[in-house]
Amino acid sequence: QVQLVESGGGLVQAGGSLRLTCAASGRTFSSYPMGWFRQAPGKEREFVGSISSRGSNTLYADSVKGRFTISRDNAKNVVYLQMNSLKPEDTAVYYCAATAGAFSRESRWYIYWGQGTQVTVPS
């Protein structure tokens, strides 16, 4: 069992930066590939990025590639999402999630989810 808690969301002007943190409980955190997803009002949840269990591989959605970076610190049981050059279209609730399988873009493979943190970038 893994419990996930996101933090670090907030209001930021376009072009600014935020770093989201996902803190995980459980001694097996390091065995789980992790993902970040987001959901804007009236839209379906979408993939943002994911990172392998050891942090050696990452995947990103095209919409955030080059602006967002995922990293993890298994000693601290945390995953980060560094978001730079934020745009109004990045406004959403951001969720971190853990998968027991290979790291993936598809939310259906993720079995543990956090409660989300709101990121707002005014236009």
Write out the chain's pLDDT in tens, 123 residues.
899 999 999 999 999 999 999 999 977 888 999 999 999 999 999 999 999 999 999 999 999 999 999 999 999 999 999 999 999 999 999 999 999 888 889 999 999 999 999 999 999
What's the residue count for the chain? 123
Cβ 121 vs Cβ 12: under 8 Å: yes
Quick one: tokens of 11? 């209001």
Q: In the prediction, which pLDDT does 83 show?
A: 98
Element (H, E) at 41: none
